[in-house]
Amino acid sequence: MANSAAQDLFGIIPGDTDYRMFAQDFGDIPGLDIIFLLGGYFYHTASDTVERLLPGSIQARGDNLLRIIKAFTNSSNLQNAHQRRLRSAVNRSDNERAVFFDYLSCFLVYYSRKQAMFLHSLPVVIFFLVPLLLRFPTWGLTCCFATFYDFLKGMLCHAFAILLAIVFPVAFAVIRLLFSGQSMSWFSTPYLAFMMFVPSSLAGMLIPRMLWKSFPLTQDVSILKLSKEELVTEARFWGAFGLYSILTLAYLAAGLSGGFLTFVMSAFMLLAWISFRLSMKSFVVGSIRSTACYVIPLIPCVMYTVYFGGFLVAFVIEKMGMTGSLPPPFGYFIPDVIVAAIIGLVTSWSVGPILPVVSHWLARSSILHFLLHSSILALALSSQFFPYSTDAPKRVIFQHTIRNAGASKIMETTYDFAVVDSNALPFVFKHASEVANTLHSNTELSFDAVKQSHQEEWMGIFPISSLFSRCMKFPAKGSDVSAEYNHFPHLTTNKPQESLSGGSRRIYLEFSLGSLKEVWVAVLNITGSLSSWSFADNILPVPEKTGNGPPSYICRLSGAGDKNWTFWLETNSSEAIKIDVAVVDQYLTESAAKLKALFPDWVDVTAFSSFISTYFVHVSFPDSLLDPILNINPLYKINLTHFE
């Protein structure tokens, strides 16, 4: 599945891939930086193995890569970054973002941005010209305005139907969660989400048609000598067509590439309307045969919207298990609300084009009651489904936290836990009784009864820690840590500080990883007034903010080497510099490994050890330095102390 709408979403959905470094930091390489895949249940879990790959997927990727390389090498428009900048400066426009989409994975439709300017503007032009073409030659300009006014009423009616198609499933989702003890019941069984939300979405789309059974026509039926049913159907159709055409133009005006969907809907609706009008010469308006003449040409369009929407819903459902644990009270509702809203939107895509004509048959109280009863039944049954399974596990982050002071002293050891979806840790411990008994026997595991772990304690995996909220921490024994490690990560000064011109001072430090076994990453979180440092070509990054702490500079050091890390910090201020050190070791002590093994199969545990320590670099002045005239070349005293 490939489409240019992904480019529109990438700026909204947080993400960072290996491609970003080549596209932004080195080389300015054009392309699309987004991960769009199915099978996200086990992505980056213990079950993410070669056996999970879809048959033929690697071969398909290789074939696509080979074709791309051939196309690049044979292209006469191949340019480097400098040539692209020169061309952009000359043309003063960027028309490279073409519009493309595949149809049912059978073939790819591709056209340039310049062609899209014409094609995507055409439906709006047709919408505004239709009243003139239908009424002006015979009945004059006044009748044209009346016709256009009816079209606007039809547009508002269709927009209201789409809005209710989204609001109804969202409302049902919220109501269910108010009476249920768990969210995301559909996570391991995606078809359950369709059963829960599609009927209510259809009911929402039919309600405007039932409320306005007698469409308020502005046109005079007696003058036009047309049946009222024919005029109402005409107003509903052109109103829906106008809405989709305006949305297509709005996408284009915003510089986005996803307007192809509403454009395809508008194009097929126009073909279906021509077929419908021709059928009226032989069949009665509103009959089954005339309705079939409208629906049949729309089948390819409906198939595509169902195909596109189905993939979108499946993708979103899988990603709901790793989107983060948002703070209460709204964080509990957000995944269900998002899935309900997207299914409602997809339903409106799929049913919207056929609704102007088919609603005559569907807008009945019996059908509406059936849809509402089906929604209520599905919502009631959903509470009996457990959200997770071995194929769709719940992700739990388990950190064995060791707070150390220097190379040998342990201040505190804890077991810290976090989740990355809306079912919080009490839900996990409720269904994992062995873990709960081991951690907190004879006490109810709730946020009020257990200490909470703050984001600063997850510095080793920053910025992933920004996905956590309301984490729990439990006391752990430090004896097995002392038995496993001889030395802990620590900072020391490796040479005297240096005074530079301009009054700045350079502080030389050495960072040792101790005797850690499987170092993944080390993080230095430096808070203070820095003018430069030895990392990243001596360029300071944009300050980051973690939790409730002040802005700071964060440096990540990957892996372990044969030698200690040496670096320097440069400052113009006499204020102390705070350095938080966090080192992630993938090795677990025996007690931590046993605790991890107690979790049930439907939980995927990402476990590691994190060594945390805090240091203050103090810069003190002699008293005589208060007089700058008597002390032109002062000496500074630097003390590196541990924070206990």
DSSP assignment letter at 628: T
Is 545 domain-assigned? no
Residue owning tokens 């009226």 = 280
Name the pLDDT band for 309 (thresholds 50, 70, 90): very high
Residue 206 resides in a domain: yes
Q: Which ranges in 120-140 belong to alpha helices (H)?
A: 122-139
- pLDDT score at 573: 81
Quick one: 183 and 215 in the same domain?
A: yes
Beta-carbon contacts of residue 404 (< 8 Å; ≥ 6 apart): 410, 411, 488, 489, 490, 611, 612, 613
pLDDT of the residue at 186: 95
Give whichever of 35-44, 274-283, 584-593 has the largest mean pLDDT: 584-593
Cβ 316 vs Cβ 345: under 8 Å? no
Confidence check: pLDDT of 547 > 80? no
Same domain, 194 and 269: yes
Please report whether residue 457 resides in a domain: no
User: Where does a domain end: 118, 145, 175?
Assistant: 118
The whole-model pTM stands at: 0.87
Contact 429, 599 (CB under 8 A): no
Among the residue ranges 170-174, 207-211, 581-585, the one predicted with the least confidence is 207-211
Say what the pLDDT of residue 619 is: 66
Give me the pLDDT at residue 329, please: 84
Residue 72 lies in domain: 5-118
Q: Do 59 and 99 have their domain in common?
A: yes
**334 strand-pairing partners:** none
Looking at the domain assignment, is residue 581 inside a domain? no
Residue 529 lies in a domain: no
Mean pLDDT of the region 64-84: 75
Binned at pLDDT 50, 70 and 90, residue 339 comes out as very high
| pLDDT score at 265 | 96
Average pLDDT, the chain: 84
Note whether 182 and 188 are within 8 A (CB).
no
Strands 603-620 and 394-405: parallel
Task: Name the residue among 522, 556, 560 with its Cα closest to residue 541.
Answer: 556
For residue 171, count CB atoms less than 10 angstroms from its CB and return exposed for 0-12, middle for 13-18, buried for 19 or more.
middle
Are 100 and 208 spatial neighbours (Cβ–Cβ below 8 Å)?
no
Would you say residue 373 lies in a domain? yes
- pLDDT value at residue 367: 93
pLDDT of 632: 28
Report whether 465 contacts 383 (CB < 8 A): no
Please check the confidence at residue 119 and state whether its pLDDT lies above 70.
Answer: yes
Of 118, 149, 172, at which residue does a domain stop? 118
Start-to-end CA distance of the chain, whole Å, equals 55
pLDDT at res. 58: 82
Let me know whether 126 and 219 are in one domain. yes
- The verdict on 242 and 93 lying in the same domain is no
Q: Are residues 165 and 207 in the same domain?
A: yes
Length of the chain: 644
Say which range, 277-286, 294-303, 327-336, has the weakest mean pLDDT: 277-286
> Residue 610's pLDDT is what?
96
The reply to whether 69 and 130 lie within a common domain is no
**35's torsion region: left (phi>0), alpha (psi -120 to 50) or beta?**
beta
Looking at 96-197, which runs of residues are DSSP E strands? 99-103, 107-111
Structural domain ending residue among the three candidates 335, 366, 382: 382
* pLDDT tens-digit readout, 435-477: 988 887 545 666 677 888 888 899 999 888 888 988 999 999 8
d(CA 398, CA 416): 6
Q: Is residue 116 classed as helix, strand or coil in its secondary structure?
A: helix
| Confidence category of residue 630, pLDDT binned at 50, 70, 90 | very low
Same domain, 194 and 46: no
**pLDDT number for residue 95:** 47
pLDDT-based confidence at residue 617 (cuts at 50, 70, 90): confident
- Position 132 pLDDT exceeds 50: yes
Q: Which residue has the higher pLDDT, 61 or 222?
A: 61
Q: Is residue 152 part of a domain?
A: yes
8, pLDDT greater than 90? no
Q: Is pLDDT above 50 for 637?
A: no
Other CB atoms within 10 A of residue 522 CB: 23
Considering the domain architecture, whether residues 224 and 163 belong to the same structural domain is answered as yes
CA proximity to 330, closest of 449, 455, 465, 183: 183
pLDDT in tens, 222-256: 677 777 888 888 999 999 999 999 999 999 888 88
Say what percent of the chain tops pLDDT 70.
85
pLDDT band at 37 (very low <50, low <70, confident <90, very high): low
CA distance 588 to 516: 11
> Residue holding tokens 């996905």?
467
Residues 287, 146 share a domain: yes
Whether residue 111 is found in the same domain as residue 127? no
Q: pLDDT for 92-115, tens place per residue? A: 554 456 788 888 888 888 888 889
Average pLDDT over residues 164-185: 93
Helix (H) or strand (E) run with residue 186 in it: none
DSSP at 550: P
For residues 177 and 72, membership in a common domain is answered with no
Structure tokens of 318? 């899988």
Of residues 402 and 53, the one with the higher pLDDT is 402
Asked if residue 256 belongs to a domain, the reply is yes
Domain count for the chain, please give it: 2
Range scoring the smallest mean pLDDT among 73-82, 405-414, 561-570, 579-588: 73-82
